[in-house]
Structure 1
Amino acid sequence: MTAIKHALQRDIFTPNDERLLSIVNVCKAGKKKKNCFLCATVTTERPVQVRVVKVKKSDKGDFYKRQMAWELRDLAEVDAKDASKENPEFDLHFEKVYRWVASSTAEKNSFISCIWKLNQRYLRKKVEFVNVSSQLLEELPKAEESAPSGESQSVAGGDEDALDDYQELNAREEQDIEGMMEVCEYAISNAEAFAEKLSKELQVLDGANIHSIMASEKQVNILMQLLDEALSEVDTIEGKMSSYEEMLQSVKEQMDQISQSNRLIQISNTNNGKLLDEIQFLVNYMDLSKGHIRALQEGDLSSSKGIEACINASEALLQCMNVALRPGHEKLMAVKQQQHLFTELRDTFARRLTNHLNNVFVHQTYVDYMTRLYEREIKDFFEVAKIKMAGTAKEGKGNKFGLHGSSGKLTGSTSSLNKLAVQGSSSRRSQSSSLLDMGNMSASDLDVADRTKFDKIFEQVLSELEPLCLAEQDFISKFFKLQQHPTLAQVEVEESDGVVPSRQPPPGEYRHFISSTEKDMVRLMMNKVFQSIETELNSLIALGDKIDSFHSLYMLVKMSHHVWTAENVDPASYLSTTLGNVLVTVKRNFDKCISGQIRQMEEVKISKKSKVGILPFVAGFEEFAELAETIFRNAERRGDLDKAYVKLIRAVFMNVEKVANESQKTPRDVVMMENFHHIFSTLSHLKISCLETERREAKHKYTDHLQSYVINSLGQPLEKLNHFFEGVEARVAQGVREDEVSYQLAFNKQELRKVIKEYPGKEVKKGLDNLYKKVDKHLCEEESLLQVVWHSMQDEFIRQYKHFEGLIGRCYPGSGITMEFTIGDMLEYFSSIAQSH
C-alpha cells in the first residue's frame, strides 16, 4: 500500500499541487468487484481545499487515473454502518449516497478518522458521522495497531502529524532516498529489514543528540553568572531608592515655605478684588456703547428707526453724565477723559439736530415742486424709449412710429424748467437737455439688427439719465450750501483768533460729520425728486426682457458699467444706489434667461422616424456663446457669464446623453459623437477659458464614442471571423497555451481555414460597401464626419487584421494559413468605396 500511495502522490496529486493524506482500497457495494481507491487530499496552496478523490487503474492496467473528485464541504454524512462490530462497509453522502466496501476494516477506520480530522480543522460546516465509535473520532483506530506493518504505514497518513507537518520531498531528498534504497537492495523486497536498519541509524543519531545536550553545561554556568549579576543590580537600585527618600524629605521643607507664601498671596488677592470692584463701578456707569456713540454722531434723523436710536443714545448719555462718583474718582485721568467725551458728544448731537430741523423746513418746498416737474418729463422720456424698443420687434412689418409728437411734448415742458434759472439751475438744465432729444433719433438707427438697436436704445437711456441726476445733485448741494456748516466756521474763527479749544478734534472728525450729514440730506432730496426713475427703469427692463430674453445680456453689461462709473464718482450717491437696485433686477432676469434655456433643453423631444443630427439646444448654445462673447468682451461682470456658461454646458452634456439614450432611429454613439464634436468645435473656436475642462471633456467623449461606433460597426462585415478569434482569445485567457489552441476541436486548423474561406476579398469589399451606406444613413450632413468615421474604420480594420495575423502566427505556427486578402487590398477597398460615393 505504501508503494501505491507513493505512486499516486507522484503521478496524480503532485502535478495538481495536492497532498495525499489517506487512502482506502474500495469497491462499490452490491456490484461486480472493480477495485478503486478513495483518497483524502488537501491543496498545498492557501486557501486550503479539501477533497475526496476516486482513483482507479486504467483499462490497460499500467497506470492510475483520476476518475472523480468531491469537495469535502459538500459531504453531508459519513455512515460507518456499525460502531461496535468490525464491518468494512461505509457510505458517503454527497449530492447522492455512495456505498463502498473497503478491503479491510482497518483501512476504513483510518480513512474515516482522517476525514473527521480534516473536517474539524478546515470546515465550519461540520460533517455528521453516524455509527462511528467516539474512540475512532478522537485517535487512530486500535485496529490499525493489529494490522500488518505495511498497511499500518499506509493509513498513518491520516494522523495529526501528517496533517500538520507533511512536506513534499524535494529533488535532493528524493535522490538521497533512491541512493539509500539502491545501496540496500532488499529495501523493496524486505521492507521490515530496511525499516530495522533505519531504526538502528536513528538510535545512533539520538545518542549523538544526547551527547550534544550534555555538552551544553557551559551555557548553564553562564546563565547562573547572569543571575548573580542581576542580584547585584537589585542592590544598586535599593541604594538609589534610599537617596530618593532623603530628597523627598527636603521637598517637604520647601512645601512648608510655599504654604507661608500662599497666605501673602491671599492678602494680595483681597486687595485686587476691592480694586476690581471700583473699576467695575466706573465701567458700568460711565461706559457708553459704540452703538450709542454712532447714533449721536451720525444717526439718521429722518427715519423712525434712526430717531428711536438717537433718543435711546441721548438718554444713555444723560445717565452717564449725571452719575454720582465716589470720593477720589474725579482725580482719575480716565474719568476726566470720559467726561470730556460725553460733553463733545452732547454738543455734536445738538448741532446735528438743529441743522436737521432747519433743512426739513427749507428743503420741503423745493422738493415738492421739482418732484411733480420731473415726474412728467421722465414718464414721457421712458414712453418714447418703450415705443422705440417695441418698434425694433415690429419693424419687419414696415410700421413707423411718430416720435416727434412725443419729443415735442418733452420740449414743451422745458418752459417750466426755465423758471428755475433764477435759482441758479440754468447750467443744470443745459447739461440734461439731451434727454429731450431721444425722440429725434433718425430712422437710419433702425437699420441694424434688432438686438443691436435695443442695445443702443438702452445705452441712450442710461447715458441721458446719468448727467441729469448728477447735475441735479450738484445743484442741490451748491444751492442749499450744504458744504458749509456753522460749527466748522466757528472752529476756524476760534483757531484764527488764537483761542485753542479745550480738546483738539481728531483729524477728519468734523469733515466726517459734515460729509455724512450732507450725503444723507442730498440722498433724501434726490430720492423724492426722482422717485419715479427706478420704477420706470424696471418697467423698461421688463419690456426688453419680454421682447427677447437675450436682451438681459446687453442690459447686464450696460447697467454694470454705469453702476461702476457712478460708484467711482460717489459710491453713496442717489444715482449709484438707484442703478445698483436696478442692477439686481437685471441680474435676476439674466439668471431667468439661463434657467429658461436649461428648461428648453430638458423639454426637447426627438422624432422617432428621422435621424437626430445636431440637437437644437447644442446649436442654441453656440448661438448664445457667440452673442455673449461679443457682448461681454472686456465687461466688468464677466464672472456672471462664466458661471452661466458652466451651468449651460453641464445641462447640454446631460441632455445630449439623455437624447442619445432615448434615440431609436440613430445609434447612441452617433448622437454622442456628432453633438460632442460640434460642442468641441464651438469651444475651440470661441476659446472660453472657464470652459477649458469641458472642452477637453467634449473631445474625450467625441473620441470615445467615435471609437465605440467604429468598433461596433466593424463587427458586421467579418462577423464569423470575429467570433472565431474571440473564441481563440477566450481559450488562451482560460489558461490554454497558445500553441495548443489548434488542438481544440472547435478551433483547429480545419475550422480556421473554413472560416477564412468565407471571406474572400470580394465579399469583404461588398460588406464594407454596405457598411459605408449604413454609416452614411446614420450621420448628419452638418458635421461632415463621414470621411473622419470612414478613415477611423480603416485604421481599426487594419489593426484587427494585424491582430488576427498575430493570433494565427502564435496559435497555428507553421500552418501556412493566411487571410484571403492583404492590407493593401483593404486600403484599396476603403479608398474606392469612399470615391464611388
Structure 2
Amino acid sequence: MAKSSADDIELRRACVSAIDDPTQKIIISIRVSMSRGIFTKSSKLGHQMAKPRVLALFTQSKGHSTTAFLRVLKYSTGGVLEPAKLYKLKHLSKVEVITNDPSGCMFTLGFDNLRSQSVAPPQWTMRSIDDRNRLLLCILNICRDVLGHLPKVVGIDVVEMALWAKENRPSVSTPRNVQDGGPVAFAVPETELKVNFEKELVSQAEEEEMEALLGSYVMGIGDAEAFSERLKRELQALEAANVHAILENEPLMDEVMQGLESATICVEDMDEWLATFNVKLRHMREDIESIETRNNMLVMQSVNNKCVIEELDKLLERLCVPSEYAASLTGGSFDEARMLQNVEACEWLTSALHGIEAPNLDPAYANMRAVKEKRAELEKLKSTFVRRASEFLRNYFSSLVDFMISDKSYFSQRGQLKRPDHADLRYKCRTYARLLQHLKSLDKNSLGPLRKAYCSSLNLLLRREAREFANELRASTKASRNPTVWLEGSTGSGQNANATDTSTVSDAYAKMLTIFIPLLVDESSFFAHFMCFEVPTLVPPGGVADGNKAGYNDDLGIMDINENDSKSGKTSAELAALNESLQDLLNGIQEDFYAVVDWAYKIDPLRCISMHGITERYLSGQKADAAGFVRLLLGNLKSRISVQFSRFVDEACHELERNERTIRQMGVLSYIPRFATLATQMEQYISGQSRDLVDQSYTTFVGIMFVTLEKIAQTDPKYADMFLLENYAAFQNSLYELANIVPILAKFYHQASEAYEQACTRHISMIIYYQFERLFQFARRIEDLMFTVPPEEIPFQLGLSKMDLRKMLKSSLSGVDQSIALMYKKLQKNLVSEELLPSLWDKCKKEFLDMYEGFAQLVAKIYPTENIPSVAEMRELLASL
C-alpha cells in the first residue's frame, strides 16, 4: 500500500511555511483533488477538470477558547504552496459522501455561512478510502471535542467509520505542533501523536449492545451461504407481499385514472381558449404599436421644432449688435470718464467674435449668409476701434511726456538734487491698462506700434532726468583731485601718507545707482505689464524701492480679463521682444552713468575699487529675465570701471619700468614701500566682491616690481646680491601685516622670502670665499679626487701632499681672527639697511662653520696625523668676535 500523504512531514512543513502564523497549530495535511459537480439534463453527475489541492486542519488557542480552521492551499506557478481558501469549522453543517462515485473517495463539505448557496460546493476526491476516512474522522473529532457539536453526515455509515477507526487506530497519528516553522520533531511521544479514538462516533456501551444484537441475530447460523439463502427467501417474500398489496388497491387506481382523464379534457379545452385569446391579443398589440409609432413621430417633430426655434433665437441674439456698443466702438470718446463704456464695448466685441467662431458656434452655421455678414461687420468694428484707440494712445503718451519735460521742477536743478517721480505718470497710464489688454485680445499686432511710441516718449524723459541728476551730482560733490602718482620713483616716499579723502566720489556714484537702478527696474516692470508682455514679475513681493513705493502696487486691472493669459505662458520669443523694447526704452541713459565713472576716476583712480564693488552688489540683485537691459547696463558699468582701473595699473607699471632706465641707486628702491602704502589703501577701498579686481592688480604690480628689481640688479653684478636681498627684505617688512590677511599678498611674500634667502646665500658665499679661498679651494680639490682616487692615495697627489696642506693652513689660518674681522667689514661695507647686518652676520658665521666642519672631516679622513684647529675652537673664536 502506498504511503498516505497525511504522513508526509515535508508537506506539513510546506503548509506551516505558507501560513506563516506561529499561533496556529497544524493537525493534519493531506493532498486532494478539487472539482465542481454539475447536473446535466440527463440528471447525471458530471465533473469538471480536477485540480490538485492540499487540505490542512489548523487550531488556534486564545485564552480558554480554541478556534479550528480548514485551509485550502494551492500550488503556485513555481510549485510553492500558497493559501487559497479558509473555512471555520464552527460553520460546518454537512459532510456528504457522493453516492454516485463508485470509488467512494469523493465527498463535499457544506458550510452554513457561504454567501452563494446556489453555486455547487467543491467536491474533494481522495486517493483512497483510508485517506477519506482519516480526514473525515479527524474533522468530526475536532468538531465534537473543540466545537461541541457534530455536522450532519450523509452517504456513509457512522458504524462503518467507527469500525474502520478501531481497526486502523495505531497508524493514525497527527503531530500536535510545529514550533515556529522549524523542523518537525520525530521523537514526539506516541500518546501525543495518536488521534484519540476513545471518543468515537459510537460510544463503548452502544458498540457492545450492537455486538450483542448482531450476535443474537446470527445465532444458529452455521455458514454464510445458508444465511445468504435465508435473506434471499425473505426478500422474495417481501416483494410478493408488495405486489399483493398493489393488486388489492386496483379500484382506487381506476378512480385516479378516470380523474386524470377528465382533467386532461379540461386542460385541452383551456388550451384552445388560450390560443384564441392569444391571436386576439397579438392583433391588439400590433394596433397599439402602430398608434405609438405615429404618436412618437409627432412628439419628435414637436421637440425638434421647439429646439430649432430656441437655436434661432440664440443665433439672432449673437448676431444682434447693441446700438450703445456700436456707438462707442465707432465714434466714442477716449476720455477717462468714458473708459468704462469703452471697456464694456471691448468686452462685448471680444465675446461676440469668440461666439461666432468654432467651437463656440456650431460648424453647420458657419456657411450661413447671415453669419458671414455679421462676421464681416464685427471685423470692421474691430479694425475701426483698434485704429482709433491706437492713434489716441500714441498721442496721449507723447503729450504726457511733453508736459513733464516742459516743467523744469521735475528735474534736478542747481543746488537741488531731484529724485525722479513717475507716480503721477503711471497713475494716468493705468487708466488705459484694461484698454491695452483688450487691444491685445482683439489684435496682437496693434501693440507693436504702441510699445514703440511709449518707449520713444519715455526714453526722452528718462535720459533728461539722468543727465540733469548726474550733472548736479558732480557739481554738488566736493572732492579735490588726488594728484599722487602712487609708484613714481621721482617723488618722496612719504607723499602718499596724507592722501586726500575722496570717499564722496564713490558715495556719489552709489547714490546715482541707488536712485536710478530701482527706477529703471521699476520702469521695466511697469512697461512689461502695462504693455501686456507675458513675463514674470520683475520685483519680488515686498521689494519696494525708495521713493517709489506706489510703483510696485500698480494695479493694472488686467488679471480678471483673461485668466488664461497667465505668467506660465511666457515664451522665449516674448522675452526677446520685451528686451528689444526695453532697449528702445532705456537706450542712451548709460552715457550719464559713464560720465560719473570717468569723473570719479579723474579725481581718484583708486575709487574704481569701491565703485566696482557697488556695481557688483547691484548686479547680483538683478535676477529677473525681463530686466535684461538693467543687467546689461550694470555689466557695462562694471567693465568700464575695470578698464579705467586697468588704465591706472598700466600707468603705474610704466612708472615702475622707468626706474630701470632712469634710476641707478643702491639700497631700497622707492616703489617698495610705496607699494605697501598703495596696497593698504586699496584694501580699505575693497567693497563686496571686488577682491578679484584688486588681486589681479597686485599680480601685475608685483610681477613688474620683481622683474624691474632683477633688471636693475644686473646693471652692477658685483653688488647685485646685496641690492636684491635689501629690497626683498624691505618688501617683506612692508607687507608683513597685509600678508597675514590677504592670501595673494601672502603668496608674493613667500616668493620674496625665497628670493631673499637665495641672494643671502650667494652674497655670503662670495664673502667667505674671498677671505678663505685657498682653504676651501683645497677642500674642493680633495672632494673632486675622491670620486676617482682612494682616500689613502690622495696625499700623494700633486699639490695635495701633507706639506702642501701645512703651507695652505699656515697661509689661511694664521691670523684667522683678522680674516674673520675683514669678512665682517666687507659684509658691512656696502649694506645700506643696517638693521639687516645682525641677521646676515649670523648667517655668515653659520655658513662658515658648516664649510669649515666639512673641511675638518676631510682632513681627518685623508690626513689623520695632521692637526688643525678644531670646529669647537673656531666656534668659540667666532662667538668672541
Under a length normalisation based on structure 2, what TM-score does the superposition of the two structures give? 0.41
Structure number with larger C-alpha Rg = 2
Under a length normalisation based on structure 1, what TM-score does the superposition of the two structures give? 0.43
More helix by share: 1
